[in-house]
Structures are given as structure tokens and as C-alpha cells.
């Protein structure tokens, strides 16, 4: 795995890891993950003690919206990339007392077979995660915790009290346009608002700074 760069987004705990593809007339070869490469890269110290326990593949049709999901006991961090199509990742801070509590950022992750690189986005515990798709798409993510159905919840991506001020305006506009004809599950559409979730005692699992995030 040849790591090219690590980018910090406007919520500093969210990182984008760019890694190389080796391209020629046949196509490309890429090593997308190697634990030793991560451990030997000082700028990736936030992943040095992380173990990935579960891999998930998700296929979505055009104009699908998913999320915003999170889990505790165990907490779940996610390393996410696009394998086909175009995903825009949505990350919402749900950590009580965080300076960015209630703020959402969006990051575009299109698949481009001709590019000399690909990217992972790191979404640590303490954030609600979702995405939307402008093309039929396939994504993959590595998880630091196994799925725990009794310890999960979600914020509706349609909730009016999400703060989009850190999001690039063209992505917020694109999201608003997709919502007019979106494919979204009833569970996600009717999930909590930020206010409702913060009034739920289970929200106390996500205090800032989050401790024992690898438990």
C-alpha cells in the first residue's frame, strides 16, 4: 500500500487517505489496505491501535440516500471507499459538548478507473454516518466493531435541525435536489432529529472527548 496523502477535513477527526494505483496500458493494480503500511505512517497514528473486525459491501441505485447511522457497545469506526459509481459521504458529529456537535460535512468519493489514486475516508466513533448516490454505486467499508442491533440508532438525514454550514454549498444543493425523488428507507426517513436524539439518555454514550472508542 503506497500512501500518497492524508487530508484532514473541517471536522478534524475525519480524515481522507489517498493511496496509489499503478497504471499501465492494461489497467491498474492497487493495494488498498496493508496494516503494516498504516502502522509505519506517523500521520496515520489515529489508526495505529485500530483493529478492523468486519467488512461490508453496499450496493445502491441512483438517487438513494442512506443513514445517518451510529452504534455503541461496541463503538464502530468505519473506513469507507467507492468501488463503482459516485458516493457522497455524510458525517454528522453527535458527540455531546463537541465544538462541532450537530454539524455535518459531506465528501465526494467518485470512482474513476483512469485516476492514479483512490481514497478511503475515515469516520471514527462519535459520528453518525450516511451517504447519497447520484449514480448506481458499489461501496466497501471496514468496521472496527461488529454489528450490534440492540445498540444502534440513527439521525434522519432529512432532519431540519442538522447544521449544514460546514458542507460545501454545491453538495448541500445536490442533496436537496435528490431529496425530491429520493430512494430512502422508512426507518432512515423517520429516524431521530438531533434534538430528539440529544434528549434520549442513550446519547450519553457519545460524550466529547469520546473515551474507549475501540471497546
CATH assignment at residue 45: 2.60.120.10
**Residue at 213 is within a domain:** no
**Residue at 215 is within a domain:** no
pLDDT confidence of residue 212: 63
The answer for residues whose C-beta is within 8 angstroms of residue 211's C-beta and 6 or more apart is: none
pLDDT confidence of residue 215: 41
**Residue at 214 is within a domain:** no
Choose, from 75, 132, 133, 141, the residue flagged as catalytic.
Answer: 141
Bridge pairing between strands 104-110 and 65-71: unpaired
Residue given cell 457522497 in the structure block = 88
**Residue at 21 is within a domain:** yes
Q: Which of 139, 145, 144, 146 is nearest to 120 (CA)?
A: 139
**Residue at 172 is within a domain:** yes
**Residue at 210 is within a domain:** no
Choose, from 69, 132, 133, 205, the residue flagged as catalytic.
Answer: 69
Residues in the chain: 215
Distance, CA of 166 to CA of 11 (rounded, Å): 8
147 counts as catalytic: no
Q: Give me the half-sphere count of Cα atoms (radius 13 Å) on the Cβ side of residue 157.
A: 30
69 counts as catalytic: yes
Specify whether the CB–CB gap between 114 and 27 falls below 8 A.
Answer: no
Summarize pLDDT for 27-64 with one digit per residue, the tens: 999 999 999 999 999 999 999 999 999 999 999 999 99
**Residue at 134 is within a domain:** yes
**Residue at 65 is within a domain:** yes
Domain assignment of residue 21, given as a range: 3-205
| Strand boundaries in the chain, DSSP class E | 3-8, 15-20, 22-24, 27-29, 54-60, 65-71, 78-84, 86-93, 104-110, 117-123, 127-133, 137-143, 152-154
Distance, CA of 76 to CA of 78 (rounded, Å): 7
Structural domains counted in the chain: 1
Write the CA distances from 49 to 15, 28, 72, 118, 196, integer angstroms.
16, 30, 18, 23, 33
For the chain, list residues with pLDDT below 70.
212-215
Amino acid at each position: 500500500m503506497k500512501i500518497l496523502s492524508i487530508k484532514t477535513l473541517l471536522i478534524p477527526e475525519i480524515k481522507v487517505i489517498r493511496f496509489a494505483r499503478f497504471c499501465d496500458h492494461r489497467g491498474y493494480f492497487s493495494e488498498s489496505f496493508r496494516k503494516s503500511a498504516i502502522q509505519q505512517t506517523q500521520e496515520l497514528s489515529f489508526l495505529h491501535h485500530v483493529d478492523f473486525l468486519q467488512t461490508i459491501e453496499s450496493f445502491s441505485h441512483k438517487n438513494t440516500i442512506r443513514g445517518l447511522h451510529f452504534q455503541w457497545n461496541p463503538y464502530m469506526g468505519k473506513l469507507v471507499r467507492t468501488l463503482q459509481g459516485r458516493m457522497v459521504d455524510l458525517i454528522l458529529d453527535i458527540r455531546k459538548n463537541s465544538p462541532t456537535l450537530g454539524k455535518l460535512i459531506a465528501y465526494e468519493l467518485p470512482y474513476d478507473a483512469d485516476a492514479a489514486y483512490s481514497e478511503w475516508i475515515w469516520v471514527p466513533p462519535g459520528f453518525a454516518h450516511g451517504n447519497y448516490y447520484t449514480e448506481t454505486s458499489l461501496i466497501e467499508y471496514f468496521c472496527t466493531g461488529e454489528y450490534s442491533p440492540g445498540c444502534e440508532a440513527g439521525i434522519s438525514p432529512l432532519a431540519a435541525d442538522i447544521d449544514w454550514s460546514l458542507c460545501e454549498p454545491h453538495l448541500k444543493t445536490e442533496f436537496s435536489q435528490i431529496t425530491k425523488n429520493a430512494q430512502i428507507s422508512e426507518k432512515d426517513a423517520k429516524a431521530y432529529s438531533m434534538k430528539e436524539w440529544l434528549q434520549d439518555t442513550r446519547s450519553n454514550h457519545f460524550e466529547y472527548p469520546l473515551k474507549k472508542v475501540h471497546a
